[in-house]
Amino acid sequence: MTGTGAPTLFDGVANTIAVVVLLLEFLMLRAAMLRAQVRLYAIQSLVVSVLAAVVAAGRDVPELYVLAVVSFLMKAVIVPWLILRLLRDASAEIAGSGVLSVASEVLLAIVVAAFGFFTVNTLDIHSDVLPATALSVAFAVVLVAFVLIIMRRDVVSQAVGFFSLENGVSMVSLVVAAGMPLILEVAFLFDLLVAVVVFGVLMRVHHGRTRSLSTIELTRLRG
Amino acid sequence: MSTATLLLVVGTLPALATLLCVVLPHRAAAAVTLAVALVCLAAVIRLVPPTAHGVVALGFLRVDALSEVFLLPTGLLYAAAAAFSIGYLGDEARQAAASGGHRQRLFSRYSRLFFVGFNAFAWSMFCAPMADGLALLWIAVEVTTVVSALLVALDNTEGATEAAWKYVLIASCGLGIALLATIVMYYAGAQAMGQSYDLALDPLVAHAAQLPQTPVRLAFVLAVVGFGTKVGLFPMHTWLPDAHAEAPTPVSALLSGSLLAVSFYAILRYDEVTRITVGDRFPQGVLLVFGVASLLLASLSLLQQADLKRLLAYSSVEHMGILAIGISFGSPLAAVGVLLHVLAHAAAKGNAFLGAGVVVRVFRTKSLARIRGVLDRLPWTGPLLLASILALCAMPPFGLFRSEFDIVAGGIGAGQHTAGAILVILVTIAFLGLLGSVVRLVLTSPATAAPGREPSAWMVVPMVGLLAVLLVLGVHPPEDLSTLLSAAAGQLAGAVAR
């Protein structure tokens, strides 16, 4: 069991992977180029899939191998490919813009991530599968994804922000719900794919109407 | 027909209609949609007596008294909006057929997308309350989001595009939080039931007393924030007025009367478990805060609204706030009131949106300042719209009077005097805002003396039907329905009885 005595090799590997996911989230926040952002998302999805495989091997949950493969195919291959294709068709802007400067955004994200990290630590939720640190990191990923969605002013970054939020949720699920029936996990992923298609359609509609990927003009409806 | 077959009918027919509408031409698609909607309505009503006395289950589908209460609004509005759609698209269809060529092609594309999306939307909203398990429930609610976001974008105007993007982004993020709630609840359940279980409702409720407290609290708050985004609770409501105002009218009616209720149902399922695990006070406190905040925002927004459909959308936020406060009272009488309120609100708000749709069609504007003399120009829609607004203001003899009366009486009976007083005051402010705007709209004399004509009988009949439902709910709800509501309220107050 984890949580007692010195951290094992497995714990170390799992925690490192979790931290890499969080760092990738920060890189996405930093990335100005939309393409770079999508690629970072693909790498992040790959890392989350690797974490699933590591849990499968380390904790002997063979079902998670299937999840790792499905999640890799969907989130690291299909989804980024769909968005990159959309970007190629749109060929409008290649860089998005944020509300704040990149430095302030990163500072804000650090504060938010730290808040998430320490708050979840105090909840005292233990898991047999992964160290609790990974859970705190996963919640931090979710919160930084929110910063990304809120601060960015273009439809691609906002959509990618939502998808990476889902990566954070997947990590939470690996930590505390590794035994969840595979069929449900796959259903969640399939739902994500449907959401991606809808996001794609609406991005196209938006681009077709405004000839731009920016959301700055979306201020007509208020009150 | 056995009761389990009814579940199959409701669970599959709308999906079948969705597939059929992909290939059928406009008229046939409209006819199929209406027929399926009426069959589903009949099936849902037929399910009332058996579910009032027990659980009807078939595979992954499971309907108890609580879920049945939330199937009824969808059944009702699916049928009403399907009939309304025939009139709503009728004018356009005739003009398109007359001019032929490009316009004809554009219209048949619009009509196909509309009916495919409409049926898929109704299907997903039937599936959510029938799903046996919190995970399946989340999946169904997520499907309602993506389908309805496409429907909101359907009109392809500037406003519709903006509303659809805001809606899909905000609602998806909300559902991301709701997924976290699902996972945390799974974790809590795993502590009592072992790793391999599928979040089915009955085992979860049965083991609720042994679940660890902190994760359940966390799951409940995440669920209220996550699903609350789709209910339209403050401060996650920002997508709601946009989406309701910009969607095609039949979709607005379904969004407001049915979708918000389905999302509220999801919160109630978490509430059911949480009350048993951590006691009544914690969930009540959370719901009271969100309820009062929503009601406050909505009643103030209603006072200064310039757009007819946004006015009705804020009224939805108001009524969702009332539901949350009603549940927070934790009294069986208030719970019965809340469940009746769900039904009556669906009928009244559906009716109001359909009426507003006719008004917008005839006056070609949504601006409250430019619409005058509805009563003179529209001899049927005018009075019907006015009646539905009076119903929304909880005037007797309509269903919402009875339900709000139950909620307030239940709250005061349970000793919640402050919350009860706040509820009454805010509802009164909302009443002023809503009635003030609409009375000006309906009773002032028209700018032009053009004689009135209803666009289509198909648009009037469903409104008359919904008004009849409102009257029945207000004057004398059927015996079976009362039994159903008491049974469902019993589920909500289960923790007290245990």
B349-358 pLDDT tens trace: 999 999 999 9
| Least confident range of A120-134, B95-109, B262-276, B367-381 | A120-134
Which of A173, A191, A206 is closest, CB to CB, to B142? A191
Q: Which residues pair with A214 in a beta bridge?
A: A154
Confidence (pLDDT) at B447: 64
B420 touches chain A (CB under 8 A): no
Residues in chain B: 498
Provide the residue type at B18 as one letter: T
Indicate the average pLDDT of chain B.
91
Q: Cβ contacts (< 8 Å) between B214 and chain A: which residues?
A: 123-125
Q: Quick check: B359 contacting A, CB < 8 Å? A: no
Cβ-nearest to A123 among B146, B156, B218: B218
* Measured distance CA(A155)–CA(B77) in Å, rounded: 33
B135 with A187: Cβ contact below 8 A: yes
**Inter-chain contact B179–A188, Cβ cutoff 8 Å?**
yes
Minimum distance, in Å, between the CA of residue B488 and any CA atom of chain A: 28
CA distance A18 to A129: 14
**Cα B310 from Cα B434, distance rounded (Å):** 11
Decide: B486 and B336 in contact? Cβ < 8 Å: yes
pLDDT over 70, % of chain A:
94
What amino acid occupies position B101? Answer: G
Burial class for B423, CB neighbours closer than 10 Å (0-12, 13-18, 19+) = buried
Query: Does residue B126 carry a pLDDT above 60?
Result: yes
Scanning the structure block, which residue is given the tokens 């009488």?
A: B333
Between CA B313 and CA B305 the distance in angstroms is 10
Query: Which uninterrupted H or E stretch holds B153?
Result: helix B134-153
pLDDT in tens, B325-359: 999 998 999 999 999 999 999 999 999 999 999 99
Residues of A in contact with B180 (CB under 8 A): 142, 169, 172
- Does pLDDT of B496 surpass 70? no
Local confidence band at B54 (pLDDT 50, 70, 90 cut-offs): confident
| The pLDDT of residue A219 is above 80 | no
pLDDT of residue A42: 95
> In chain B, which among 267-306 make CB contacts under 8 A with chain A?
301, 304-306
Better-predicted residue by pLDDT, A101 or B465: B465
Q: How many alpha carbons fall within 13 Å on the CB side of residue B26? A: 20
Chain B residues lying within 8 Å of A159, measured CB to CB? 169
Reported as a pLDDT band with limits 50, 70 and 90, residue A3 is very low
Residue A178: closest CA among chain B residues belongs to which residue?
Answer: B195
Task: Spell out which residues of chain A touch residue B162, defining contact as CB-CB under 8 Å.
Answer: 218, 220-221
Distance CA A49, CA A44 (A): 9
| Helical H segments across B154-195, by residue range | 158-193
Average pLDDT over residues A51-79: 89
Indicate the residue of A172, A177, A205 with minimum beta-carbon distance to B161: A205
Best mutation target among B138, B150, B158, B172 (most A Cβ atoms within 10 Å) is B172
The answer to whether residues A28 and A65 touch, using CB atoms and an 8 Å cutoff, is no
**Residue B293 vs residue B438, higher pLDDT:** B293
Residue B498 confidence class, pLDDT cut points 50, 70, 90: very low
pLDDT higher than 50, residue B433? yes
Low-confidence winner among A166-180, B226-240, B283-297 (lowest mean pLDDT): A166-180
Mutate to test the interface with B, among A202, A204, A212 (most CBs of B within 10 A): A202
Residue A214 per-residue DSSP state: B
Chain B: residue whose CA lies nearest to A146: B173
Q: Is B477 left (phi over 0), alpha (psi -120 to 50) or beta?
A: beta
Tally of CB atoms within 10 A around B91? 12
**Residue indicated by tokens 């309701």:** B244
Asked if residue B178 lies in contact with residue B222, where contact means CB atoms within 8 angstroms, the answer is: yes
State which residue of chain B sits closest to A129, comparing Cα positions.
Answer: B195
pLDDT at residue number A91: 64
Please determine, for residue B184, whether its predicted confidence score (pLDDT) is greater than 60: yes
Rounded to whole angstroms, the Cα distance separating A25 from A140 reads: 10
How many Å lie between the alpha carbon of A113 and the closest alpha carbon of chain B?
16
Give B 226-245 residues with CB within 8 A of chain A.
241-242, 245
Count of CA atoms in the C-beta half-sphere (13 A) of B121: 31
Position A31 scores a pLDDT of 85
pLDDT of residue A5: 56
B164 and A205 in contact by Cβ < 8 A? yes
Residues of chain A contacting B145 with CB distance shorter than 8 Å: 195
Residue with token string 């219209």: B107
HEC string of B326-349 equals HHHHCCHHHHHHHHHHHHHHHHHH
Is B206's pLDDT higher than 50? yes
How far CA A161 is from CA of A97, A169, A212, B223, in Å, comes to 14, 12, 19, 21
Tell me the nearest-neighbour CA distance from A183 into chain B, angstroms. 9
**Average pLDDT, stretch A72-82?**
91
